[in-house]
């Protein structure tokens, strides 16, 4: 199952390692240009974790600790939006189910629906441990159950789906089992194909309950978690209006928002979802594009819409934020190996920044000068290739003697399972 994002909502690359170097005196550095000797270590100091658009999640927690309500937090990070409501359902692509059949665990009240005829069948309690739908060439499916071995049960005229009278249904995937609220359906990846994707058709509120604890610690300050619930619900409503595919609107990975279904829910984050029920942020009457990331580093960066401006963030730098400021040291060969056309790296030149905060802010463009060639790269590309936390960085260069420094520890300071940037 393949999906292609039409918008880049998340950079999504973690720092691979923190490297410690032994240095022997600084080389020349002036402004936004640094000479690099033949054998050098390069210390990269930075602020923040993510693209910086919209809400800083560490900033939301810092603001809550200062007494701001979730509405005040949202109004700060999404300046100029208004408050509204949304309801209905959302169709989520379940990327972990990479097989063409749809397999669920047997449970009381399990219902099979033929999407072509609309016919519903409550499946019997017949000793089965699993039920499955196998696609057929005519666009329908063969339904069977597992009781020691697979047995045929019925055939479908069209695509099928399982539900359980508003109770969770457990999906079986190659990577493990996971329970989901709502309906689990198998949909053709293209017309006439027997290849199938699995889609979870779920109410918006249940969807958000499966998102929030994977995007922010559920036991953080309640007002911060409520702000996250509003941002996640609004982001989903925006994606629903700008669907990724013809049979689903949003995915379940960090390319969209991380969604874990019923099994991911936590009582504290469920309370936050319930406390903000149906609330979203609007721009010109429509759901806003509420991007968010782990840490702004002290300045948000301008996004693609007016309500995502660059502005100083006084809440991000609280003592519990480990990625407000950070550094990593690498040998010059790391850059030379990433861009082999350079030859020997001799100079780093930053040509454009966004103008906000230390060092002139986030890097927009830069030039790497080598003994063989100059290479122009964007700040985003440099960040992605080196696995840096953000593009808001500066450099320090020192002569290196002896062997290159070796990795000593993994630098996984992400807020949750990944660098959360939407």
Burial class from Cβ neighbours inside 10 Å (0-12, 13-18, 19+) for residue 218 reads: buried
Residues comprising the chain, all counted: 422
pLDDT of residue 122: 97
**How many angstroms from the chain centroid is the CA of residue 238?**
15
Query: Does 256 score more than 50 pLDDT?
Result: yes
Q: How confident is the model at residue 403 (pLDDT cuts 50, 70, 90)?
A: low
Alpha-carbon distances, residue 380 vs 100, 264, 353, 360, 376 (angstroms): 36, 31, 12, 16, 12
Contact yes or no for 169/162 (Cβ under 8 A): yes
pLDDT of residue 404: 54
Q: What average pLDDT score do residues 118-143 get?
A: 96
Both tokens assigned to 5:
């994002």
Query: Does 220 score more than 80 pLDDT?
Result: yes
Give the tens place of pLDDT for each residue, 322-347. Answer: 999 999 999 999 999 999 999 999 99
Query: Does 65 score more than 50 pLDDT?
Result: yes
Q: What average pLDDT score do residues 100-123 get?
A: 97
Query: Does 420 score more than 90 pLDDT?
Result: no
pLDDT of residue 28: 41
Residue 310: name the closest of 359, 352, 350, 361 by CA.
Answer: 361
Q: What average pLDDT score do residues 136-149 get?
A: 96
Residue 224: name the closest of 56, 70, 78, 420 by CA.
Answer: 70
Distance between CA 15 and CA 413 in Å, rounded? 9
H helix or E strand, kind and range, residue 268: helix 267-275
Give 2's contacts (C-beta < 8 A, 6+ positions apart).
none
Q: How confident is the model at residue 405 (pLDDT cuts 50, 70, 90)?
A: low
pLDDT of residue 400: 84
Mind spelling out the 3-state secondary structure of 392-419? CEEEEEEECCCCCCCEEECCCCCCCCCC
Give the tens place of pLDDT for each residue, 17-43. Answer: 222 232 333 444 446 999 999 999 999
Q: Looking at 8-12, 72-76, 138-142, which range is the least confident one?
A: 8-12
Q: How confident is the model at residue 4 (pLDDT cuts 50, 70, 90)?
A: very low
Q: How confident is the model at residue 10 (pLDDT cuts 50, 70, 90)?
A: very low
Query: Does 69 score more than 60 pLDDT?
Result: yes
Query: Does 50 score more than 80 pLDDT?
Result: yes
Q: For 161, left (φ over 0), alpha (ψ -120 to 50), or beta?
A: beta
Give the tens place of pLDDT for each residue, 267-317. Answer: 999 999 999 999 999 999 999 999 999 999 999 999 999 999 999 999 999
Q: What average pLDDT score do residues 221-228 get?
A: 98
pLDDT of residue 3: 35
**How many angstroms from the chain centroid is the CA of residue 339?**
27
pLDDT of residue 413: 40
Average pLDDT, the chain: 90
Q: How many CA atoms lie within 13 A of 237 on its CB side?
A: 24
Q: What average pLDDT score do residues 146-173 get?
A: 97
Q: What average pLDDT score do residues 79-102 get?
A: 97
Both tokens assigned to 75:
């109004």
Query: Does 14 score more than 50 pLDDT?
Result: no
Classified as helix, coil or strand, 86 is coil
């Amino acid at each position: 199952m393949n999906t292609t994002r039409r918008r880049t909502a998340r950079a999504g690359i973690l720092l691979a390692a923190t490297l410690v170097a032994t240095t022997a005196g600084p080389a020349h550095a002036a402004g936004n240009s640094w000479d690099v000797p033949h054998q050098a270590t390069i210390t990269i100091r930075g602020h923040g974790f993510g693209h910086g658009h919209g809400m800083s999640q560490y900033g939301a927690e810092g603001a809550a600790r200062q007494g701001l309500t979730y509405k005040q937090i949202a109004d700060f990070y999404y300046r100029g939006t208004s408050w509204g409501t949304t309801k209905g359902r959302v169709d989520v692509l379940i990327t972990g189910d990479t097989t063409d059949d749809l397999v669920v665990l047997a449970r009381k009240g399990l219902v099979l629906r033929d999407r072509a005829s609309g016919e519903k069948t409550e499946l019997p309690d017949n000793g089965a441990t699993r039920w499955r739908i196998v696609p057929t060439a005519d666009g329908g499916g063969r339904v069977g159950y597992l009781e020691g071995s697979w047995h045929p049960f019925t055939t479908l005229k069209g695509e099928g789906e399982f539900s359980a009278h508003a109770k969770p249904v457990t999906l079986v995937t190659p990577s493990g089992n996971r329970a989901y609220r709502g309906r689990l359906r198998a949909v053709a990846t293209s017309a006439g194909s027997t290849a199938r994707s699995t889609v979870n058709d779920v109410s918006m509120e249940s969807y958000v309950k499966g998102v929030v604890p994977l995007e922010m610690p559920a036991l953080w300050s309640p007002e911060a978690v409520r702000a996250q619930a509003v941002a996640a619900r609004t982001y989903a409503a925006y994606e629903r209006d700008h669907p990724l595919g013809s049979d689903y609107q949003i995915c379940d990975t960090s390319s969209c928002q991380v969604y874990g279904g019923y099994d991911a829910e936590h009582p504290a984050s469920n309370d936050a979802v319930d406390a903000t029920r149906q609330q979203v942020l609007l721009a010109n009457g429509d759901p806003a594009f509420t991007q968010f990331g782990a840490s702004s580093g002290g300045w948000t960066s301008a996004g693609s819409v007016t309500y995502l401006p660059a502005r100083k963030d006084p809440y991000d730098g609280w003592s519990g934020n480990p990625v407000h400021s950070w550094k990593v040291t690498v040998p010059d060969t790391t850059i030379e190996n990433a861009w082999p056309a350079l030859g020997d790296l001799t100079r780093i030149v930053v040509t454009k920044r966004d103008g906000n905060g230390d060092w002139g802010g986030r890097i927009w463009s830069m030039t790497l000068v080598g003994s063989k060639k100059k290479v122009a790269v964007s700040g985003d590309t440099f960040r992605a290739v080196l696995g840096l936390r953000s593009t808001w960085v500066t450099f320090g260069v020192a002569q290196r003697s002896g062997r290159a420094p070796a990795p000593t520890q993994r630098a996984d300071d992400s807020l949750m399972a990944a660098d959360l940037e939407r």
